[in-house]
Structure 1
Amino acid sequence: MSDRYGDIFSGHPHTAKRTVSQVVAEPELVVEDAASGFCGAVVGFDRSYDGDFVKLADARGAVRLFALREAAFLIDGKPVTLVRPAKSAPGKPARSASGSTRVEGVRAKVAAPSRIWVEGVHDAALVERVWGHDLRVEGVVVEHLEGLDNLAARLAEFGPGPGRRVGVLVDHLVTGSKETHLTAGLGEFVLVTGHPFVDVWQAVKPAAVGIPEWPRVPRDEDWKTGVCTRLGWDTPQDGWRRVYSAVNSFRDLEAPLLGAVERLIDFVTEPGEQF
C-alpha cells in the first residue's frame, strides 16, 4: 500500500533549498530579468560601490543594468545565476576600453609635462572611463578647467612650449559659438578639439543609456535639468549615474568625441614632445 503522506524525512517541497545553475554571461546571451520581465542580450558589464551589474539590450535597442544576484535571471523559464566571464586566456591580447591593446603589469609613469584639459568633472570622468589605461601608460594627466572661461588664465599660468603641450577638449565646438571664440589663436603648442553636443552627456549614444534619443531643451533652460525632467529622471545626479554607468567602452560613445580625444592624445604624446 502506498504511503499517502510520502517520506516525512525528505523535507517539505516548499522549504527544500533550490539548486540554481550558474551560467557564464557571454556576449549576446539572451536572458530575462526575473523581477521585471525585461528580456535582452548581454552587451556588457559595470561595477560600482554596490556590486557587479550586467548590461542587457532588448530587441529595440533599449539597454538596462541589472545586479548580478543569485537566481535573478531566467533562461527558457528556468532561474539561473549569471556570472561574469573569466579574463582573457594567456596569449590573447586583451583590449582596453578605448580599443587599444592593454599593457599588463605596467607601472604608473611620472606625469609627463604635457596635459589634456577638459571643461568639467563629467568630461574628465568619461575620458578616464574609456582612455584611462592609455593615459596611464603614456603618463598623461587629464585635468578639468571648471569652465572654459578659465582657459586663458590657466594657459598663462601653465606656459605651453616645446615639450610642454596642452590639448583642450571642448563641448559645443561649432562655428560661431562662444566656445569657438574662446579657443581661437592659442598658439602652436595648444590644440583644441571638441564635439558639437551641448553637453558631454549627449556624446553617449542614446541606445547605451536606454533611451530613443536625447531630448531637445530650450536654450534658456539648464540643459541637464531639462533632460532629467523630460526623461523622468529624479535629479541631474541620478542622470549622471545613468549616463556614466552606460559607458563601458568606446562603442558607447559618439564618433565626434572619439575622434576629438584621440587627436588630443596623439598631440600631447607626439615623439620628442614630452620631455
Structure 2
Amino acid sequence: MGARSGGPSSGAGRSGGLPGLTSHRPTQEILTVEAEPGLVVEDATGSFCGAVIRADVREVVLEDAAGRRRLFPMKPASFLFEGRLATLTPPRPRESPEQQRSASGSVRGDDRRAKVASPHRIWVEGVHDAAIVERVWGHDLRVEGVVVEPLHGADVLVEAAHEFGPGPDRKLGVLVDHLVTGSKETRIAEGLRRDLGPASEHVLVLGHPYVDIWEAVKPAAVGIREWPTVPRGIEWKKGVCAALGWGDERDGARRVLGAVSTWNDLQTPLITAMEQLIDFVTT
C-alpha cells in the first residue's frame, strides 16, 4: 500500500496529533542575555545563584556570595535572569577595553591585573551585602587584592575582630547596616573601639542609615516607587517580600541583586561608605 495522507488519525492539517485538539505551546518568552562578568543569574533548577566569572561558547562559571564557584554548560533556556527564563550568550569583545569603566565608575584597564589577596579585609554583614559589593566594586577590589567577607550579622563583630588581630599591615574595614544614633549596630561599633584599644586605629567601621542593604538600592532600580515600611517585630526582608508580592526572601534577593549593575543603582550613603573603606584598607 502507498503512504496514507490526510486521514483522520494522521493529524495532517492540524496543530496537534489528535483530531479536535490543538496544541498548547509555552508562551513564556525566553530572554537572551549576554554573560558579562558580574552578571547575576541563577541556574534554571534554582539550586545555585551567582555572578558570572567567565563565559565562552561552551560553558559559564558562576560564583556565589560565599565565594563558591560552579561550572554550567551554555545550554539554551538553562538560567534565570531577574526571575525569567534566559539563554546566556558569550560576552562580545569590546573595541576599546582601556576606556571601559567598572561598575563603580573607575577606569578599567587591561594593564591592571588582579593582585594576590592582601592581608587587609573588608567585612560586610551578610551574603546579600557581599553580592552587591561584588557587583559594583568587584573589579576595584580585585585590582587592589582586597577580599570582602560576610560576617553573618553584626553581633559577632567584636569577637571576630579580636580573632582577626588588626595591625598596621593588617587593616580591617567593616560595613554595617543601620548605623544611626542609638541603633544596635552603633553600640556594637562603639564597643569595638573600646575593646580593641590601640589596635582600633587599624579598624574603620562605617555604614549607611538603611535597615538592610536592600533598602540602599534605589527603588526605581527595582521597579518600585518606594521601599515599604515594615512594622516592628517582623523580619524586614520577609515583610518587604510580603508587602511587594515578591514571594519568599530568595525571590526578593534575585530581584534586588539582578537590579544592581552600577553605582548609579545605589543610594549615596552606601557608595560613600564603601569608597572610604576601600581607601582605608589600601593606603
Residue 280 of structure 2 aligns with an amino acid whose one-letter code is: F
Find 2:254's aligned residue among 232, 241, 256: 241
Seq. identity, %: 58
| Paired position in structure 1 for 2:277 | 264
State the SS of the aligned residue for 1:218: coil
> Matched residues in 2 for 1:254 and 1:106: separation?
28
Question: How far is the alpha carbon of 1:113 from its aligned partner?
Answer: 1.1
Structural mapping, 1:14-93, within 5 Å: 46=39, 48=41, 49=43, 50-51=78-79, 86-90=92-96, 93=99
* 1:143-177 alpha-carbon deviations (Å, 9 max, x no partner): 11111111111111111111211000000000111
Q: Is contact 2:83–2:251 with CA below 8 Å preserved after alignment?
A: no
How many angstroms apart in 2 are the aligned matches of 1:173 and 1:220? 19
Q: Which structure would you say has the larger RCO, counting Cα contacts within 8 Å and 6 or more residues apart?
A: 1
After TM superposition, the structure 1 = structure 2 runs for residues 135-174 of structure 1, keeping only pairs within 5 Å, are 135-174=141-180
- Counterpart Cα distance in 2 of 1:161 and 1:47: 35
Matched, 1:251 2:257: no
- Structure-2 separation of matches of 1:166 and 1:46: 28
Letter in 2 for 1:157: E
| Pairwise CA distance, 1:87 | 4.6
* 1:5-63 residue CA offsets vs partner (Å, 9 max, x unmatched): xxxxxxxxxx9xxxxxxxxxxxxxxxxxx979xxxxxxxx955244586xxxxxxxxxx
Structure 2 residue 178 is the aligned partner of structure 1 residue 190: no
Change (3 A) 1:156 1:98: same
Gaps of 5+ in 2: 1-14, 16-26, 30-37, 44-77
Higher helix share: 2
- Is the partner of 2:205 in helix, strand or coil? strand
For the aligned residues, what is the CA RMSD? Answer: 2.7
Q: Distance in 2 between matches of 1:168 and 1:130?
A: 17
Whole-Å separation in 2 of the counterparts to 1:129 and 1:212: 23
The answer to whether the Cα contact below 8 Å between 2:178 and 2:209 also exists between their aligned partners in 1 is yes
Unmatched 5+ stretches in structure 1: 1-14, 16-33, 37-44, 54-63, 70-82, 271-275
Residue 110 (structure 1) shift? 1.7
**Corresponding residue number in structure 2 for 1:73:** none
C-alpha spacing 1:65/1:127, structure 2 compared with 1 (3 Å): same
Letter in 2 for 1:154: A
TM-score, normalised with respect to structure 1: 0.69
C-alpha distance in 2, partners of 1:124/1:91? 26
> For each residue in 1:68-103, what CA deviation from the matched residue of structure 2 results, as whole angstroms up to 9, or x when unmatched?
77xxxxxxxxxxxxx999554237510111110113
Q: Is the 8 A contact 1:103 1:137 kept in 2?
A: no
Q: Is the 8 A contact 1:46 1:52 kept in 2?
A: no
